[in-house]
Amino acid sequence: MDGNGRWAKKLLLPRIAGHKRGVDSLRATVKACIDRDIRVLSVFAFSSENWNRPQEEVSGLMDLLGIALTREVPNLHEQGVQLHFPGDWSKLNSRVAAGLSEAEATTAANQKLILNVCFNYGGRWDICQAAAKVQALGLPMTEQSMREYLSLGHVPDPDLFIRTGGEMRVSNFLLWQMAYSEFYFSDVLWPDFDACELDVALLAYQQRERRFGRTSEQVSVEPQNSDEE
Ligand code: IPE
Ligand code: MG
């Protein structure tokens, strides 16, 4: 969800105003996903590297997380959204961490859409924490055992990766999980992202041929899905 700061700057507003509008975009995108029967949405809300931003912005983002939790969770729960907050909670304020845990517990039985809000998340952190768990349990280090302990072990790998804001990089998001994801980059700034932009991305995705290492001829004879890669 990139481009909040630039969106605010264009309007001569403080960066935090862009992040606030970003929450509105996320709310609209969640609804658009439900309407389109998309079952899983994972968003990158705060990266392990975002701590390097000015202190004022970091605390603004932490406050915004707390506010969004209070304001949004009841509506999300009503819509049947199952919430998860993959990431390293150890550095978060204990009140916020308790809020995340409560939101996960409240929405745990919901089935309409799984929403992973990755917060203080990093792809490298995720791989390391999973490997540490696998090792501590004395399990063999296999793709299967790793998959189970990664922080998105409860969902299949993403089919489509969308980055807004014009940058063409992954920035330490789901490094393990995006091995076979289709990549889509949009110049639209995240606060301007809406259901229409989502449809443009979905249309682009529909044009892709997913081969999972096979040849085009094989795929056209026996279509494979990502679970069978
Ligand atoms: C993304 O928007 C939101 C977060 C990382 C929290 P940015 O804050 O990176 O916006 P730009 O890239 O400065 O426009
Ligand atoms: Mg950015």
Q: What is the mean pLDDT of the chain?
A: 96
Q: Is residue 51 assigned to a domain?
A: yes
The domain total for the chain is 1
For 191-215, write each residue's pLDDT tens digit: 999 999 999 999 999 999 999 999 9
Contact status, residue 146 vs residue 134, Cβ threshold 8 Å? yes
For 80-98, write each residue's pLDDT tens digit: 999 999 999 999 999 999 9
Q: Is residue 104 assigned to a domain?
A: yes
**Is the confidence at residue 109, as pLDDT, over 50?**
yes
Q: Is residue 85 assigned to a domain?
A: yes
**Is the confidence at residue 229, as pLDDT, over 80?**
no
Q: Is residue 198 assigned to a domain?
A: yes
**Is the confidence at residue 228, as pLDDT, over 70?**
no
Of ligand 1's atoms, which has the minimum distance to the CA of residue 8?
14
Expressed as residue numbers, the domain containing 59 is: 4-208
Q: Is residue 146 assigned to a domain?
A: yes
Q: Is residue 95 assigned to a domain?
A: yes
- Using a 10 angstrom Cβ sphere, with 0-12 exposed, 13-18 middle and 19 or more buried, the burial of residue 82 is buried
Please compute, for residue 41, the number of CA atoms within 13 A of its CA located in the half-sphere on the CB side.
26
Q: Is residue 224 assigned to a domain?
A: no
Output the CA 93–ligand 1 centroid distance in Å. Answer: 21
Q: Is residue 86 assigned to a domain?
A: yes
Contact status, residue 115 vs residue 41, Cβ threshold 8 Å? yes
Is 2 a known active-site residue? yes
Instruction: Kindly report the CATH number assigned to the domain that includes residue 93.
Output: 3.40.1180.10
DSSP for 22-85, please give it: HHHHHHHHHHHHHHTT--EEEEEEEEGGGGGS-HHHHHHHHHHHHHHHHHHHHHHHHTTEEEE-
Position 224 scores a pLDDT of 58
Side chain identity, residue 9? K
Output the CA 221–ligand 2 centroid distance in Å. Answer: 42
Is 93 a known active-site residue? no
Strand ranges (E), the chain: 40-47, 81-84, 113-121, 160-163, 182-185
Who lines ligand 1 at CB under 6 A? 1-6, 19, 46, 50, 61, 165
